[in-house]
Amino acid sequence: DPGATMVFTAGGALKPVGGHVLSHASTVRMFLRKGRGDERIAKLSDSPDRPEGEATYKLAEGGWEDV
């Protein structure tokens, strides 16, 4: 499956990065999406020891910066 290496939404379907095998091996699920302007949003969806939540950040020359 050539699309198995990326996550995308097409008709509501999500595909895990790394394909079917890694989707079953992972214990943490995080979704990354573009926000307004330079902002990005990371959403923690499933984790055995962390609550669900979102964090906003932006990519700068020196790396990630909190917004």
Read off the pLDDT of residues 39-61 as tens digits, 9 standing for 90 and up: 999 999 888 999 999 999 998 89
pTM recorded for the entire structure: 0.65
Tell me what the pLDDT averaged over the chain comes to. 79
Residue 17 and residue 28 in contact, taking contact as beta carbons nearer than 8 Å: no
Is residue 64 within 8 A of residue 58, CB to CB? The reply is yes
Task: Give the integer Cα–Cα distance in Å for 22 and 24.
Answer: 5
